[in-house]
Structure 1
């Protein structure tokens, strides 16, 4: 489903997305925590210089660290200030729960911008080996003069990339 809710909470924009994967939870988590799969997906999204590191510090917990350059899809005025590419650092912490569900906390920080993005992703098993996914995406900026514009652009871009991740897992996972 496309954006279900978009609202302003203080200095933060939020949006919620829902998706159903026709794959079991374990397979969806395996895709989102596989170095080669993630690198291929992010390169297909237009990123370059993608580096992915995955650690499993304990059973039921997976840490994913990603650095990459992402193309800036913004008005020329913003690109003239921040450039055509942003260095982005993303950290996902996945946690398995007793009921078979998984949650991930994602934090993304573009270098050189007083802004950051986050997502809370929940995967839950449903009938017929399918997986229900709910994701809440949020962005915030501390740049007073351009905060509103930066937040809106980041929210749109973050949502677009997440929807592309859903599609990539659906077709390549």
Structure 2
């Protein structure tokens, strides 16, 4: 009986150990399953984030390429506009029509945002020097001495932009020293 009691106690103890071991294994399996599921969920989220970042990178790269080409085009357009402006000034200065010169002064205005950031006086003087040397022999056009004095006086100004040039009450800068009186 005593042996049977000890065997029974040992069997019960072993049964408890086996049951405890099974419960621990089930808990470990459940935790492992939850970790696997969480890991798979994170992998899916990270894949979608990676794909989103890839798409964002591609879109950004395409935008950068577009903006670079746009900047090149705008730079080219600006250079063309400056050249056209200088040739227009040249044509106006070579013209003997005072009405045309007076009319053109209405289009040269101060610019508060400084969009044209090049030295208008220097460019204007260059054009005048070119035209006066090329047309001096034909003497079709000679600039009035007052205008030459005015332009050479403004040459001594520090590098000014269009927005910094002196202006009249209406914000108009004349090409001629005085406008003709009606």
**TM bin (shorter chain):** under 0.3
TM-score of the superposed pair, with normalisation by structure 2: 0.20
Whichever structure has more strand as a proportion of its residues is 1
Q: Rg bigger for which structure? A: 2
TM-score of the superposed pair, with normalisation by structure 1: 0.21
